[in-house]
Amino acid sequence: MADSVVTIRTRKVMTNRLLARKQMVVDILHPNRASVPKTEVREKLAQLYKTTPDLVFAYGFRCQFGGGKKFGLRAYLRYT
């Protein structure tokens, strides 16, 4: 089951230069899985934006009724 497809989409991406980070809303599609751990989300976002997982802060995730979809309130990517 860990090999099932997880799709991460970002929207409302903005650059916050004052705080030296990128901010975005994250949508996660995970059919055939109960949930996706935050560590996996951090790794996939880091790979997507070419940074390291320790610079990615994701929080505020909620599952949609019926399962298969999760959305996060914010994700921050710190610049190096």
Please return the burial class of 56, using the count of CB atoms within 10 Å of its CB with bins 0-12, 13-18 and 19+. Answer: buried
**pTM reported for the whole predicted model:** 0.80
DSSP letters, 44-78, are: HHHHHTTS-GGGEEEEEEEEPTTSSEEEEEEEEEE
Q: Which helix (H) or strand (E) holds 38?
A: helix 38-48
Tell me, what's the pLDDT at 80? 60
Dump pLDDT digits (tens) for 12-70: 999 989 988 999 888 888 888 888 888 998 999 999 999 999 999 988 888 877 767 77
Cβ atoms 56, 8 nearer than 8 A: no
CATH of 7-78, one of 3.40.50.300, 3.40.630.30, 3.30.360.10, 3.30.70.3370: 3.30.70.3370
